[in-house]
Amino acid sequence: MNRWRHTMVFANPPHHTRLRRLVSSAFTHRHVGALTATIGRHSDQLLNQLAQQPGGDFISTVAFPLPTQVIGELLGVPSADRPRLATLVPQAMKVFEPFTDPTILGRAAEAEAELADYFTRLLTHKRRHHKGDLLTRLAVARDDEALTDTEMIATAILLLGAGLETTAKLLGNGLHTLLTHPDQLDLLRSNPDLIPRAIEEILRFEPPAHLNPRTVLQPCTLSDIELVPGQFVIALLAAANRDPAQFTDPDHFNINRTQAPPLSFGSGIHYCLGAHLARLEATEFFRRMLRRYPTIELSGQPHRERGSNLRGFINLPVQLIGPVTHQPVS
């Protein structure tokens, strides 16, 4: 499971700069915005499926399939391969849970190995059959930009995992938060223009990722604690998002909040490349869902995943009730 260490997540400049530069062009507002139609089409299809299953599970029916299709489109993963990858990613991402059971870590290693084998074959194929997707750009990059084979495979796994797992949790956390705060849901229905602000508040109030590990590079003092190079520290992003010095009444979910943006996507040179894509997916999805279904309600007891970093739901049973269950929204 050392492939993660060949990604930009575990790198500093200049190595980080080289890794990030090659993939950053795919996450510009122009490139991401071009996926709006794809997001809308898949959102409508998945909402239709959920509406036909009274009491269906939002997580397995919508929250994971939607980002699977979107990140698959961006990377250039064939449609037929995406469902299998969607089952492997949550297993492989368990390495980012600090207290994961060793047995689960073993399965995570197996999932990562299968992902690596898959991307080895796919990248080889893309060297011979060029298309306009991100994996093709990785595979055919010029010598001055090219990644090693190990770096390419690790980067592909990272982008798939980050684009799928955290966005799925954002959707699930977002829906549950709205359903358990009906006053805010009613406010959002009456003023859909608040959806982008609501997404920011969901990211602050119930972020998909809670921790951000770092290694000290230079001697420094933080909250009267002397830190020395080589020490390992963990920033609690979820706690920072509830800092009363930054947010008024931080334990209150308020979609009208206009204070500092949350730290859910990190900051600095390691700020999440896919932040704009995740926001667009959530914004477009909730816009369509709220417009199509006047009544959305929990239909059973949700079950949360156990973990201290990646936080979400195992299942989230819901019922969609509305006059429109089959026609897409423009």
Q: What is the reported pLDDT for 323?
A: 65
Q: How far apart are CA 123 and CA 153, in angstroms?
A: 8
DSSP 310: B
Q: Are 130 and 136 in contact (CB under 8 A)?
A: yes
Residues of the chain with pLDDT under 70: 1-2, 143-144, 323-330
Report yes or no on whether pTM surpasses 0.85.
yes
Q: How far apart are CA 17 and CA 194, in angstroms?
A: 36
The contacts found for 16-25 with CB under 8 angstroms, 24 or more apart, are: 16/269, 16/270, 17/269, 18/145, 19/147, 19/151, 19/155, 20/269, 20/273, 21/145, 22/137, 22/138, 22/141, 22/145, 22/147, 23/134, 23/137, 23/138, 23/155, 23/159, 23/273, 24/273, 25/137
Q: What is the reported pLDDT for 142?
A: 72
Q: How far apart are CA 129 and CA 127, in angstroms?
A: 6
> Which domains can be identified in the chain, with CATH numbers?
3-208+274-321 (1.10.630.10)
Q: What is the reported pLDDT for 251?
A: 97
Q: Are 60 and 66 in contact (CB under 8 A)?
A: no
Structure tokens at 211: 């921790």
Helix axes 275-292, 195-205, angle to 10 degrees: 120
Q: What is the reported pLDDT for 159?
A: 92
Q: How far apart are CA 270 and CA 43, in angstroms?
A: 29
Q: What is the reported pLDDT for 325?
A: 43
